[in-house]
Amino acid sequence: MDFTTVSERLATGQLGRSVSRLVPATPIWEREWDVCCVLDGCRLDLMRETAAAGHRTLPDPEAVGSLWSVGSQSAEWMDRTFAPRYREEMARTAYVTGNPFSSQSCEHILVTSDEVLPLSADDFGVFHEAWRDEWVDDDISTIPPDSLTDAAIAIWRRREELGVDRVLIHYMQPHAPFRSRAEWFFGSADIEHWGQFNPDDGDGDEATAVDGETEDDALDLADLTPEEREALEAFADADDDGADSMNDPWLRVRDGNLSFDAVWAAYRDNLEWALDDLTRLLANCDGRVALTSDHGNGLGEFGVWSHPPGTPVPAVRRVPWVVREGTDRGTCEPGLPDAIRRRDADRDGDGDDIESRLEALGYR
């Protein structure tokens, strides 16, 4: 066993999880902000590089600060950010999220508790799971930033009416899949079980059940094209490591299947996708606007690639912190999302539609 493998197992194993809890992390509630934008999976050096290139949303690179995140993966970040001790802050906050982990119990993630996830409307002043209505299946399957920005602007302008004094927005970018390299991504996952895809084991046996459902309940192989079926079969036949890496670009860099430069360029383009839309946010919201992330991505530091939960490695846990001043110039007039307008209605009725939606897997 080489040094890199030993380092990875130490960083992502029980020892790493124990050390991870000792990292002096800073919950976002301890910082000053009116609107906070969480850019999913954004490394600190990526943000500073984009600032150095002169992106209009960002300050000079030396003004891009940092903090230690409370988690190294989205569900872990949610579990600790929305812990019961922050109930008072959450009650005054509108949470607009594009990340489907908000709906899961995440019992499969050992570092999460059983107290927080799944989230509910009772947890916040306003709770809007934008991914339920705004997820798209075009070249890639994700939620673009514009619908989240629209919801945040509309909520912020009506904050007194809605009884909130903060808006927290969880964008999916720069997290994969990458808009500029859609051909890299294939896989299916019930969006309600984001990150829990269990493929057929390759010998015709039924796939592992998730919450009482099987893979066959969610995916009809007859609906796939020959090319899609071939790719799925390759996915099912892969060993555990290969299955994990098939749609995770960082693991594919590790395995030599993608070049670092190509992945980094696509990663930066995804960040710019979000930042370009944040220019609208800054032009339509008065107040202090913070930009941060829930976690970064390991690029081999201490043998860690991607963003496994319970990892104390700085490349994954040290994330950007940028503060900008927004000024509402009224350049756009988005309305409140229908889901917020009917927030007192029972939203469980759309479950069948959600469960029937098969999404490209962004990560496991």
What pLDDT, on a 0 to 100 scale, did the predictor assign at position 38? 98
- How many angstroms separate the CA atoms of 197 and 190, rounded? 8
What pLDDT, on a 0 to 100 scale, did the predictor assign at position 84? 97
68 has a pLDDT exceeding 90: yes
Tokens of 99: 């990340």
Grade residue 205 by pLDDT with cuts at 50, 70 and 90.
very low
Burial of 283 (0-12, 13-18, 19+ CB in 10 A): middle
264 has a pLDDT exceeding 60: yes
pLDDT, one tens digit per residue, over 297-332 is: 999 999 999 999 999 999 999 999 999 999 999 999
Segment 126-139 mean pLDDT:
92
Tokens of 20: 């991870």
pLDDT, one tens digit per residue, over 173-190 is: 999 999 999 999 875 445
- Give, as one character, the DSSP assignment of residue 176: S
What pLDDT, on a 0 to 100 scale, did the predictor assign at position 333? 97
Q: Where are the alpha helices (DSSP H) in 100-239?
A: 131-134, 145-157, 159-162, 215-218, 226-237
- How many angstroms separate the CA atoms of 334 and 346, rounded? 24
pLDDT, one tens digit per residue, over 45-59 is: 999 999 999 999 999
Q: Within 10 Å of residue 250's Cβ, how many Cβ atoms? A: 23
What pLDDT, on a 0 to 100 scale, did the predictor assign at position 139? 83
What pLDDT, on a 0 to 100 scale, did the predictor assign at position 246? 66
pLDDT, one tens digit per residue, over 234-255 is: 444 443 444 456 689 999 999 9
- How many angstroms separate the CA atoms of 269 and 256, rounded? 21
What pLDDT, on a 0 to 100 scale, did the predictor assign at position 354? 34
Mean pLDDT of the chain: 81
What pLDDT, on a 0 to 100 scale, did the predictor assign at position 196? 46
- How many angstroms separate the CA atoms of 322 and 63, rounded? 7
Domain boundaries, the chain: 3-359
The distance in angstroms from the start CA to the end CA of the chain is 25
Cα 255-228-223 angle, rounded to 5 deg: 150
Q: Where are the alpha helices (DSSP H) in 82-173?
A: 87-91, 131-134, 145-157, 159-162
